[in-house]
């Protein structure tokens, strides 16, 4: 008949063998003295294959994935166990699979030899480590791409932000944003869109992408586009919202340069010929439908070739810029103005009859004639000749321009620095 102590030992042994954790007893030199069934199955060893062997070379490789010397760690645990009460390290199975285990280590005394041994209780954390490594890799990729990244809880507060996002805002650190409302990151106009449209769309459709302004403390404000996406658990329940923020300032700058190249005359900064004619044609068609008057002015700088020959092309360029800016000041915001080529410009006057057009043309001519262009030799005065054509029955842009051009040449032939209308 078993005595009380034998029964207790058997119960203890059964509890240890059936535990859902790895239970390992090893000598301070690394020799395995005991491992329970759960641990043997986890590492894919039999008791005979593991007992008496060193843990380095069996359940530990010489180095982990981070090139940490594991033999040195084992020796240090035996010498300084109090520093390793809890530690996480990479282990290896018999088949060579790398696994991560969280260990709790306690120094015990061998009842037979009285030698110090280490009792280690371990739990598999491989899935967690892989998730952490995947997240770390993802964040490294995000940071390397120059994109801001944030994790937003369902309570609409930041759970994580990277440094790139803080750099976009300016004068901010990640820890200062954790726990703050996502709405603190945006101006009021963006907050309303975020609250009433974007976040509901993310919850419903799982994603939203578009341009949205940030609150920015830095002087050189960035243009940003954002991708909000919903992350769910294995049951499809929402867990958090991710947000990737991309600085598109350079793209916007290039787009603006391309837009200017396509629409703006590089020298004078007024509309170029192609864009002026496109906009004027569109406006003429609108005037046809509304039956409202309009007029076309054609103007040319008088004796411009002599300016170039006498003062040089640099002063000629300054003359073109001066005339274009003076003419603009004589027009309303609704009127159109562009450089057609060389020293020739055109204007389309909206809701303007012939009498009013003549007044505008005269005001423009006079403004140019009193403007002075400073040169090294003398103060240069310029003049222009202007031709006016007002609405014809068909409101044909090509015909209006041709008529205004004929009137302009009549102004030149009759003495320059004057306004003539088409008759």
In this structure, how many other beta carbons lie within 10 angstroms of the beta carbon of residue 382?
21
Q: Which residue among 64, 91, 124 closes a domain?
A: 124
Q: Which domain holds residue 205?
A: 130-251
Residue 259 lies in a domain: no
- CATH number of the CATH domain containing 162: 3.30.450.20
How far is it, in rounded angstroms, from Cα 352 to Cα 388? 11
* Residues 389-410 as b or e (16 or more Cβ within 10 Å = b): bbbeeebebeebbebbbebbeb
Together in a domain, 379 and 291: yes
∠ CA(164), CA(166), CA(171), 5° rounding? 130
Same domain, 175 and 302: no
Residue 57: inside a domain: yes
Q: Which of 106, 362, 204 is nearest to 196 (CA)?
A: 204
| Confidence at residue 234, expressed as pLDDT on a 0 to 100 scale | 81
The answer to whether the CB of 178 falls within 8 A of the CB of 159 is yes
Query: Contact, 385 vs 411, CB < 8 A?
Result: yes
Contacts for 71 with CB less than 8 Å, ≥ 6 apart = 30, 56, 60, 62
Q: Is residue 78 part of a domain?
A: yes
User: 214-229, pLDDT tens digit by residue?
Assistant: 766 555 666 788 899 9
pLDDT at 12: 66
Regarding whether 353 and 228 lie in a shared domain, the answer is no
Residues 71 and 143 in one domain: no
Closest by CA to 161, choosing from 191, 188, 139, is 139
Spatial separation of the C-alpha atoms in residues 283 and 347, rounded to whole Å: 12
Most distant CA pair in the chain, distance: 138
Q: How far apart are CA 144 and CA 161, in angstroms?
A: 15
Q: Any residues with CB less than 8 A from the CB of 89 and at least 6 apart, and which?
A: 60, 64, 68, 70, 73, 100, 101, 103
364 and 305 in one domain? Answer: yes
73 located within any domain: yes
Last residue of a domain, one of 103, 124, 145: 124
Boundary-marking domain end, from 108, 124, 140? 124
pLDDT along the chain (423 residues), means of 10: 46 77 91 93 94 92 74 82 85 93 88 86 91 80 81 91 84 86 85 89 89 67 83 87 85 76 89 92 85 92 93 93 94 94 94 93 95 86 94 77 95 95 90
Same domain, 281 and 157: no
φ, ψ dihedrals at 247, nearest 5°: -80, 115
Is the same domain home to 269 and 416? yes
C-alpha to C-alpha distance for 232 and 204, rounded to whole angstroms: 12
Give bridge partners of residue 26 from the DSSP assignment. Answer: 32, 118
Asked if residue 256 is part of any domain, the answer here is: no
Whether 55 and 145 share a structural domain: no
Strand partners, 152: 158, 241
What CATH number does the domain containing 318 carry?
A: 3.30.70.270
Task: Count other Cβ atoms within 10 Å, centred on residue 235.
Answer: 5
SS (H, E, C) 38-50: HHHHHHCCCHHHH
3-state helix, strand and coil shares in percent for the chain, rounded to the nearest 5:
45, 30, 30
**Is the same domain home to 298 and 402?**
yes
Entry field: residues in the chain:
423
Instruction: For residues 232 and 301, state if they share a domain.
Output: no
* Tokens found for residue 75: 């020796």
Inside any domain, residue 258: no
Is residue 387 a part of any domain in this protein? yes
Q: How many domains does the chain have?
A: 3
pLDDT at 1: 44
Say whether both 298 and 411 belong to one domain.
yes
Q: Are residues 39 and 174 in the same domain?
A: no
> What is the full DSSP assignment across 86-103?
EEEEEEE-TT--EEEEEE
Torsion of CA 97, 98, 104, 106, to 10 degrees: 70
For residue 223, is it within any domain? yes
């Amino acid at each position: 008949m078993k005595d009380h102590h034998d029964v207790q030992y058997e119960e203890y042994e059964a509890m240890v063998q059936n535990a859902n954790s790895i239970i390992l007893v090893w000598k301070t030199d690394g020799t395995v003295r005991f491992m329970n069934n759960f641990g043997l199955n986890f590492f894919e060893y039999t008791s005979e294959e593991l007992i008496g062997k060193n843990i380095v070379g069996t359940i530990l490789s010489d180095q982990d994935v981070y090139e940490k010397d594991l033999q040195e760690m084992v020796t240090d645990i035996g010498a300084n166990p109090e520093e390793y009460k809890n530690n996480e390290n990479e282990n290896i199975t018999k088949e060579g699979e790398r696994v991560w285990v969280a260990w709790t280590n306690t120094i015990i005394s061998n009842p037979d030899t009285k030698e110090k041994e280490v009792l280690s209780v371990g739990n598999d954390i491989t899935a967690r480590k892989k998730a952490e490594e995947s997240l770390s890799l993802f964040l490294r990729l995000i940071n390397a791409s120059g994109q801001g990244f944030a994790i937003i809880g369902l309570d609409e507060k930041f759970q994580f932000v990277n440094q790139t996002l803080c750099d976009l805002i300016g004068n901010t650190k990640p820890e200062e944003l954790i726990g703050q409302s996502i709405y603190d990151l945006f101006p009021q106009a963006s907050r309303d869109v975020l609250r009433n449209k974007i976040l509901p769309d993310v919850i419903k459709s799982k994603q939203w992408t578009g341009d949205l302004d940030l609150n920015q403390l830095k002087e050189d404000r960035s243009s940003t586009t954002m991708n909000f996406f919903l992350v769910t658990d294995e049951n499809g329940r929402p867990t958090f919202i991710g947000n990737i923020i991309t600085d598109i300032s350079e793209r916007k700058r290039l787009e603006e340069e391309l837009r200017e190249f396509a629409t703006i005359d590089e020298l004078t900064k007024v509309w170029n010929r192609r864009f002026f004619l496109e906009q004027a044609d569109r406006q003429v068609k609108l005037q046809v439908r509304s039956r409202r008057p309009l007029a076309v002015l054609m103007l040319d700088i008088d004796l411009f070739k002599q300016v170039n020959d006498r003062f040089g092309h640099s002063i000629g360029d300054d003359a073109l810029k001066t005339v274009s800016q003076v003419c603009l000041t004589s027009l309303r915001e609704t009127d159109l103005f562009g450089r057609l080529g060389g020293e020739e410009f055109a204007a389309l006057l909206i809701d303007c009859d012939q009498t009013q057009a003549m007044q505008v043309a005269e005001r423009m001519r006079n403004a140019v004639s009193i403007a002075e262009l400073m040169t090294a030799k003398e103060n240069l005065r310029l003049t222009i000749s202007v031709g006016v054509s007002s609405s014809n029955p068909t409101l044909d842009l090509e015909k209006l321009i041709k008529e205004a051009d004929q009137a302009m040449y009549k102004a030149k032939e009759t003495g320059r620095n004057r306004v003539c209308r088409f008759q």
